[in-house]
Amino acid sequence: MSILIKGMEMPTKCADCLFIDYFKGQWYCHSINDILETGSSKRDERCNLVPVPPHGDLIDRDALIKDGWLNLHKEVIRMGGYAIHELPLKNPSIPVIIPAEEGE
């Protein structure tokens, strides 16, 4: 399972990361669950942090499929094929997992 920490920027070096501790004279990274051999002046190549690119609402794809994406797709084609990408996303029964970021 993954987590998203809202407002957290991707650190450019381990020393700026929330998941690092200086313990008994060594840098310890909770993200990789190991001692950092490179210190804290740059990001360790084993870093598990992944940036989330700019995005709109991120929805549950499985819920979209379960809620009748194929039926809706057929209906849109029957209506002439317009708005095929917009209609399913306006369905209020499809849960938003991660809301759009402000300004997106």
Report helix, strand or coil for 68. Answer: coil
Q: How do residues 62-96 score in pLDDT, each as one tens digit? A: 877 776 666 666 666 666 655 555 555 566 677 88
Please name every residue paired with 21 in a beta bridge, in sequence order, or none if there are none: 28
Domain count, the chain: 2
Do residue 63 and residue 26 come from a single domain? no
Name the helix (H) or strand (E) containing 66: helix 61-66
With respect to residue 69, please indicate whether it lies within any of the assigned structural domains: yes
Residues 42 and 4 grouped into a single domain: yes
- Same domain as 69, residue 47: no
- Strands 26-29 and 34-35, by their bridges, are antiparallel
Q: Which residues, at least 6 apart from 42, have a Cβ–Cβ distance to it below 8 Å?
A: 12, 13, 14
Which range of residues forms the domain containing residue 12?
A: 1-51
23 and 8 in a single domain? The answer is yes
Query: Phi and psi of 26, rounded to 5°?
Result: -135, 150
Confidence of residue 60 (pLDDT cuts 50, 70, 90): confident
Distance CA 51, CA 80 (A): 39
State pTM to two decimals.
Answer: 0.57
State whether 3 and 45 are in the same domain: yes
In angstroms, the Cα distances linking 92 to 12, 16, 59, 70 are 38, 39, 11, 17
Task: Establish if 103 belongs to a structural domain.
Answer: no
Q: What is the mean pLDDT of residues 18-45?
A: 83
- Nearest-5° angle of CA 55, CA 11, CA 2? 55
